[in-house]
Amino acid sequence: MTIVERTQVFLLPDLGEGLSEAEIVEWRVAVGDVVTVDQSVVEVETAKAVVDVPCPYAGRVVTLHGAAGEVRPVGQPLITIAPLDGGDEPAGHTTYREEERAGSGNVLIGYGTGHGTATRRRRRPRLAVAPEPADADPAGAAAEAAPAASVDPARSSAALVISPIVRRLAREHGVDLDTVRGTGPGGVIRRADVEAALTAPAARLAAVPDPQVGSAPVGDGDVIVPLTGVRKVIADKLSRSRREIPEVTIWVDVDATGLLETRAAINAATPDAPVSILALLARICLSGLRRFPQLNSRVDTEAQRIVQSAGVHLGIAAQTDRGLLVPVLRDAQRLTTAELAAELAATTAAARAGSLPPARLTGGTFTLNNYGVFGVDGSTPIINHPEAALLGVGRIVDKPWVVDGQLAVRKVTQLSLTFDHRVCDGGVAGGFLRHVADCVERPALLIAAV
State pLDDT tens for residues 296-325: 999 999 999 999 999 999 999 988 887 788
- For residue 85, the model assigns a pLDDT of 66
For the chain, the first-to-last Cα distance in angstroms comes to 69
Contact assessment for residue 405 and residue 353, using Cβ atoms and an 8 Å cutoff: no
Rounded to an integer, what distance in angstroms lies between the CA atom of residue 23 and that of residue 48? 11
- For residue 41, the model assigns a pLDDT of 93
Closest CA to 168 of 9, 25, 337: 25
DSSP 146: P
Question: Please, which pLDDT band fits residue 185 given cuts at 50, 70 and 90?
Answer: low
Lowest mean pLDDT among 17-31, 81-95, 235-249: 81-95
- For residue 17, the model assigns a pLDDT of 55
Lowest mean pLDDT among 92-101, 190-199, 218-227, 370-379: 92-101
Lowest mean pLDDT among 79-93, 123-137, 312-326, 384-398: 123-137
Catalytic-labelled residue, pool 173, 385, 421, 435: 421
What residues contact 262, with CB distance under 8 A and at least 6 apart? 280, 443
Average pLDDT over residues 341-357: 90
Q: Looking at the predicted structure, is the pLDDT value of residue 176 above 90?
A: no
* Bridge partners for 307 per DSSP: 298
* Bridge partners for 228 per DSSP: none
Measured from the Cβ of residue 345, the count of other Cβ atoms closer than 10 Å reads 17
- Using DSSP, state whether 432 is helix, strand or coil: helix
- Computed over every residue of the chain, the mean pLDDT equals 78
Rounded to an integer, what distance in angstroms lies between the CA atom of residue 267 and that of residue 259? 12
Determine the Cα angle at 346 with ends 345 and 351, to 5°. 100
Q: Is 65 a catalytic residue?
A: no
pLDDT in tens, 58-89: 999 999 999 988 888 888 999 999 988 655 44
Average pLDDT over residues 179-206: 67
Compute and round to an integer the Cα radius of gyration of the chain: 26
Question: Please, which pLDDT band fits residue 430 given cuts at 50, 70 and 90?
Answer: very high
Measured from the Cβ of residue 422, the count of other Cβ atoms closer than 10 Å reads 15
